[in-house]
Amino acid sequence: MKQDQNKSSVSTRIERDTMGELAVPAEAYYGVQTARAIENFPISSLRMPRAVIRAMGMIKRAAATVNQALGLLGKKPAEAIKQAATEVVDGKLDAEFPVDIFQTGSGTSTNMNTNEVISNRATELLGGARGSKLVHPNDHVNLGQSSNDVIPTAIHIAASEMMQQQLLPALTRLHKALKGKAREFDTIVKIGRTHLQDATPVRLGQEFSGYARQIELGMQRVKQAQEALAEVALGGTAVGTGLNCHPKFSAKVMAIISKETGCSFKEAKNHFEAQSAQDSLVEASGQLRVLAVSLMKIASGPRCGLGEINLPETQPGSSIMPGKVNPVIAESVTMVCAQVIGNDVTITVGGQAANFELIVMMPVMAYNLLQSIELLATASHNLSVKCIEGIKANEDGDVHGAGAGDRL
């Protein structure tokens, strides 16, 4: 049929769910429940992060593999689901995930979005028409699963993988840069300051060694966050009882995903804890908040207008004062830190929304946690490359301002 939309003719198909019929764009891989979510949540321009969509694809692919091995899913639909899910993992179907972050608190809309996309693509691979449910979104793609255990599991996978692949490498480089400067500046004496006043002498290298140690501890905290994320809810289905899920399903799925990501995941010791709360996400965010506080300290640095070090000049600093150059890289880091600290507040509030057997702020918790990881990773890398690695001690500094001018 045809539907007039913004004065242009858009081809649609009619799909049905328990609430009735609804028109879905004919070329869309998503289906009726996703279409309802688009109508229901016209809230923002924010969408589920790519890392979560990737993790959802990984779960659905591993689930099809395990369900086939357990004799619960036939070979043809399983193979089609695995191929379609791989396309989700690889980002080939990203345009098919239009649901707003501010949606169903459990993330059900995103889970059904994923099920429908994989269902329709798998159906197409088997020669069926989109919307025909030759491969069914619930009975096949979501077999042995519920939104209530899949969504928190996907968030854990996405966060841990991003920490492993993005944040820890960036912090490793920053730590190396700071340690290098600590050695380079080890013989340079300057004045130490406490209570915003001059105190006793300290070596510039000693200051930088403190910064290096902060990042070293930050890396340990990130690894502790990964440990908190290692237990996943998959296998608990709706309320933690494991209804309609094979008892071996979760362990087998997570073994596959652990191998694929290089991160360690295991079935939760207690599914009722894993689904009725997300203390693990709150803990992980708290570790990121501490890292942000450390970076704020480092970015505020020993410079502080005292001229003790010279930062690499990256861009003109003023539209009215020609020649003025500002410490803009450090300033960008401090804004990232402020954002991460704010994200932690949102995640903390989300963690308090643990109503009975289910936590109902999962999408916004996911968005904020993954944004914090990404921002800390990119800001740390940029700080290393465009600031720390190029810092020079100002040995001709103002001695009256206790510039870095004396050597041991």
pLDDT tens digits, 325-370: 888 999 999 999 999 999 999 999 999 999 999 999 999 999 999 9
Residue 258 bears catalytic tag: no
Model's pTM, two decimal places?
0.93
- The catalytically annotated residue of 9, 45, 195, 319 is 195
- Euclidean distance between CA atoms 148 and 121, whole angstroms: 24
Query: Catalytic residue among 318, 319, 332, 384, which?
Result: 318
Q: How confident is the model at residue 100 (pLDDT cuts 50, 70, 90)?
A: very high
DSSP 103: S
Q: Exposure pattern of 91-115 as b/e (b: 16+ CB <10 Å)?
A: eebeebbbbbbebbbbbbbbbbbbb
Q: Spelled out in words, what is the top-level CATH class assigned to the domain 159-407? A: mainly alpha
Fold agreement (13-143, 159-407) = no
Contact predicate 249/300, CB 8 Å: no
Average pLDDT over residues 23-52: 97
Neighbours of 317 (CB within 10 A): 14
- 53-91 tens-digit pLDDT: 999 999 999 999 999 999 999 999 999 999 999 999 999
Q: What is the mean pLDDT of the chain?
A: 93
User: Mind listing the pLDDT tens digit for each residue in 382-405?
Assistant: 999 999 999 999 887 543 344 444
pLDDT (tens digit per residue) in 206-263: 999 999 999 999 999 999 999 999 999 999 999 999 999 999 999 999 999 999 999 9
Active site residue 285: no
What pLDDT is recorded for position 408? 44
CATH 1.10.275.10 assigned to 13-143 = yes
pLDDT higher than threshold 60 for residue 5: no
Domain boundaries in the chain? 13-143, 159-407
